[in-house]
């Protein structure tokens, strides 16, 4: 490093980001009400007062956490929506595994727990999650199923229900990891679940003539 390089200096670059990170941890462990600002501040490595330099209230911080946790997932959903329009079986074999990958990468587990647990106290956050993320993803899947049905690839049946059937085990796998694994339950390998589930579902969804 050259002379004149920034010496040891307090990085104030991404204080808000660090705080949101810490808050995500604590909120998803404890829920909104049981989370203490002391602990969030301590994990972020700042004083309690510093939180108020960036967020007006505890609720404000909570909202920031939940909302910013949507962003990376939206990218993923967009990518999925833009997926190639090949045969339905190909699409299906691709998508759930991709989702499984995301679920293991992003800290989505904790956030899902928070959204479910606090939906009653923060309905507007449940709405944001639904409108911007969940409904988008479910809608994209539904459209793909309906298109495949129109092409005669998929048996009759409610396409939105088909879409939900496809996603549900992945979601349950994540919730399971958050809820029961910490108390000793065996985890589900979400990727493995995805593979087996796609094959099973394909077996039940594909029309006779479309069998690979």
Partner DNA sequence: AATGAATGAGAGTTCATTCAT
Partner DNA sequence: GATGAATGAACTCTCATTCAT
Binding partner of residue 179 among DNA, a second copy, none, CB cut-off 5 to 8 Å per kind: a second copy
Cβ–Cβ under 8 Å, residues 175 and 81: no
Q: Is the dihedral angle over the CA atoms 60, 44, 177, 159 positive or is it negative? A: positive
Per-residue contact track with a second copy, 106 to 145, x per CB under 8 A? Answer: -------xxxxxxxxx-xx-xx--x---xx----------
Cβ closer to DNA: 43 or 160? Answer: 43
Residues 24-63 vs DNA: string with x where CB under 7 A? Answer: -----------xxxx-------xxxxxxxxx-xxxx----
User: Sign (positive/negative) of CA torsion 77, 69, 98, 137?
Assistant: negative
Query: Which has the closest alpha carbon to 27: 105, 102, 121?
Result: 121
Query: How far, in Å, CA of 106 to CA of 75, rounded?
Result: 12
Q: What residue 105 binds from DNA, a second copy, none (CB within 5 to 8 A, per partner kind)? A: none
Contact range with a second copy by CB under 8 A, out of 60-68, 69-77, 86-94, 158-166: 158-166
In the bound state with DNA, the residue whose beta carbon lies nearer, of 57 and 75, is 57
Query: What part of residues 54-113 is at the interface with DNA (CB under 7 A)?
Result: 54, 56-59
End-to-end Cα distance, the chain: 59
Q: What is the 3-state secondary structure (H, E, C) of 139-189?
A: HHHHHHHHHHHHCCCECCCCHHHHHHHHHHHHHHHHHHHHHCHHHCCCCCC
Question: For DNA, which is the closer residue by CB, 6 or 184?
Answer: 6
Here's the x/- map for a second copy, 165-194, by CB under 8 A: it reads as x-xxx-xxx-xx-xxx-xxxxx-x---xx-
* Residues near a second copy (CB under 8 A): 28-34, 113-121, 123-124, 126-127, 130, 134-135, 155, 157-158, 160-162, 164-165, 167-169, 171-173, 175-176, 178-180, 182-186, 188, 192-193, 196-197, 199-205
């Amino acid at each position: 490093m050259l002379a004149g390089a920034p010496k040891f200096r307090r990085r104030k670059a991404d204080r808000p980001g660090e705080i949101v990170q810490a808050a995500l941890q604590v909120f998803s462990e404890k829920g909104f009400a049981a989370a203490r600002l002391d602990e969030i501040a301590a994990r972020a490595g700042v004083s309690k007062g510093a939180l108020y330099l960036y967020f007006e209230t505890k609720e404000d911080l909570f909202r920031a956490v939940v909302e910013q946790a949507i962003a990376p997932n939206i990218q993923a959903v967009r990518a999925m929506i833009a997926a190639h329009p090949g045969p339905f079986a190909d699409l299906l074999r691709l998508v759930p595994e991709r989702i499984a990958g995301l679920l293991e990468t992003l800290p989505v587990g904790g956030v899902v727990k928070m959204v479910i647990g606090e939906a009653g106290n923060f309905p507007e956050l449940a709405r944001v999650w639904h409108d911007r993320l969940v409904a988008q993803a479910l809608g994209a899947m539904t459209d793909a199923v309906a298109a495949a049905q129109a092409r005669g690839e998929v048996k009759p049946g409610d396409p939105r229900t088909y879409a939900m059937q496809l996603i549900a085990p992945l979601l349950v796998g994540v919730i399971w990891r958050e809820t029961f694994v910490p108390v000793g339950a065996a985890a589900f390998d979400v990727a493995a679940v995805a593979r087996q589930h796609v094959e099973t579902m394909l077996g039940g969804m594909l029309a006779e003539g479309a069998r690979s």
